[in-house]
Amino acid sequence: MKNRFKPKFSIKKGDSVVVIAGEYKDLKKPRTVLKVIPDKSRVLVEGVNIVTKHTKPSAQNTKGGIVKLEAPIHISNVMLWDAKAHAASKISHSKENGKSVRIAKKSGEVIK
């Protein structure tokens, strides 16, 4: 997908998020973002969208076999977790000391 402008998202690697749609939907269980793929609007979330991959034997993996790993999900299916409010929250941006910071709308806390 070629875009003229690179998309910007409020979710970053290492954030706690909640899956709000799909098979792994759980609004009370925060999970960690392992990777953000902005070109495809997808995120890799820990323990979500587990797929099985069949691997051939190689030098590193002499046995081969079936491996379970996470696959990316669309970024619209996750929402940032607000630790103070213990719920999913939308994000607003503001400037503090010349730097842009993310603020959770539910509690008003700055997200680190």
| Structural domains of the chain sorted by starting position, each given as residue range(s) with its CATH number in brackets | 16-56+64-111 (2.30.30.30)
Query: CA 75 to CA 110: how far, in whole Å?
Result: 21
- 110 DSSP β-pair partners: 103
Tokens 């929402």 -> residue:
79
Task: Tell me the pTM.
Answer: 0.84
Q: What is Dmax (Cα atoms) for the chain? A: 55
pLDDT tens-digit series, residues 72-109 = 999 999 999 999 999 999 999 999 999 999 999 999 99
